[in-house]
Amino acid sequence: MARHKSRIANRTTPNNNAAHAFDFSRRTAAVLLHPTSLPSRHGSGDLGHEAFAFVDFLASSGMKWWQTLPHTPPGREPGYSPYSSPSSFAGSPWLVSLDDLIERGYLDRTDIKPPKHVRDDRVNFPAVETYRMTALRIAYLTVCDRLPKSFHQFTQTHASWLNGWSLFAALRTHFDNKPWNDWPEAIRARKPDAIAHYTEKLADEICFHQFIQWLFYEQWLKLRKYAASKGVGLIGDVPIFVGHDSADVWCDQRLFMLDAKGNPKVVSGCPPDAFNKLGQVWNHAHYDWSKHVRSSFAWWIERFRATFALYDGVRIDHFLGFYRVWAVPFGAKDAVKGHWIKTPGRALFTEMQKALGDCPIIAEDLGTVTKEAMALRDDFGFPGMRVTMFGFDGGWDHLPHRHVPHCVAYTGTHDCDTVNGYALEQLKASRKPGNDSAKRYVANLIASLGITPADLPKQAASALIRHTLLSPANTVIIPIQDILGLGTEARMNLPGTEGNNWHWRLKPNALTPTHAKSLRSLIQASER
């Protein structure tokens, strides 16, 4: 990671952030927390009062960033993942604050009742989806005949993606949530007559989805402005892939590798490795990169332009895929028979910087790296990632003292177990005969952190946070679960599994002034 000077000359300031106040070149720290994990009486966290209170907590802790997961609507399959969204541009309806709508007079408290069996520490996705969409429909019916001028201005400003998304969302409801490639042939293929017919027939439903997006963008930008006033920037997350059953694919089918019926010719995944002998099948449609090249990457540029309208920095998930991606035959049960497809990442980022200027980007470069992908990262000046919990069993570059300044260091990520949870797992495994890997991990952890085996399950996280903050890395990002010292029960995602991910929630009043004071002392001691 030594070469981080860009070879691109005559760069300009990002068009949408003319006086950019946040970047990854200074010593700063962040907390990783998705808004759905915030406390709320409405079944999942949103952009309401708790989000503003969390910004206050970050500011009082000395944190300069709040990193989220993708803000887009989660995909129902697989398992409501935010990384398989039906849109790359739309905001999740679940993040719209219902309390804000009550305060505006769009909703009455008696109109809605929170879903039954709501737990403070878990999101019940089906119940929350039904409840929140019902509440949003009530709000829409209350004001649909007197929508303000700002709504109409919003629909005009964002028409390039909003028209396609709102029609797609209305059609999904009309066709009982069937994937778009199972719709009648004329609308599946976007025949002009069919588009005109359904646009007229579903006009009210289309307006409803535009209304949701207007609310989301207003609330998000209000939160971002408040965060900036407190000296806190927002970091977003851009998945390299988009869901096949998405407005993106349906609206621009030529940009993806599809057959005549709209099915993917190949899907995304990763090849077999030491952790999974059959590899992984992710099932996103692959891009037809030749079409993106011919358009000078117009779709990608608009995607990043829209993202940076909401965030001060962005993490690109699976950055390694901008050099090559693993393509698996559609319908395959495993990824063994896949093959590599080279991708034009260098040309893409060149065009993006011409259009948008310097954008604060974190390159998620974890996994089987190639020298070409690393050169791509370094030549454009993007900091890569280090995960300190990876550093105690052979991943030596992840150890805090081996971090380089131009990187972003995490104690763990949303795909990892919590630090305390993993430490306990390794401690238990180390006590079994023949488990040399776990023994080595525990021994290195104890030696590095200076704590006893008995203290590992409760103190590993706090010790690792301290060591990571003191590392040379310019930027440090800490999952909120590690700040609270939580165990495996608070894990956000287990890659390769479905049905039990993304549920975790922060309990009300879990964060206290004591947490803020302790963090602020560490931030000051590490000069962040």
Q: Point out the residues that are catalytic.
A: 317, 364, 415
Strands in 65-67's sheet, in edge-to-edge order, are 361-363, 313-317, 233-239, 65-67, 28-32, 475-479, 407-410, 384-387
Distance in angstroms (rounded) separating the CA atoms of residues 423 and 315: 27
CB-based contacts of 334, cutoff 8 Å, min separation 6: 278, 279, 281
Strand partners, 478: 31
Cα of 64 vs its chain's centroid, Å: 18
Beta pairing, strands 324-329 & 384-387? unpaired
Beta strands in 139-265 (DSSP E): 233-239
Cβ count near 302 (within 10 Å): 15
Residues whose CB falls within 8 Å of the CB of residue 244, separated by 6 or more in sequence, listed in order: 179, 181, 264, 267, 283, 284, 285
* CB-CB neighbours of 92 under 10 Å: 22
**Omega prior to 433 cis, within 30 of 0:** no
* Buried/exposed code over 444-483 (b: 16+ C-beta within 10 A; e: otherwise): bbbebbebeeeebbebbbbbbbebbbbbebbbbbbbbbbb
> Which residues are registered as beta bridge partners of 315?
237, 362
Q: Coil, strand, or helix at residue 118?
A: coil
Structure tokens at 192: 């002009």
Give, as one character, the DSSP assignment of residue 470: T
What's the distance, Cα to Cα, between the start and end of the chain in Å? Answer: 22
Q: Using an 8 Å Cβ cutoff, are 73 and 92 in contact?
A: yes
Element (H, E) at 159: helix 159-174
* Whether the Cβ atoms of residue 354 and residue 297 lie closer than 8 Å to each other: no
Strand (E) or helix (H) holding 329: strand 324-329
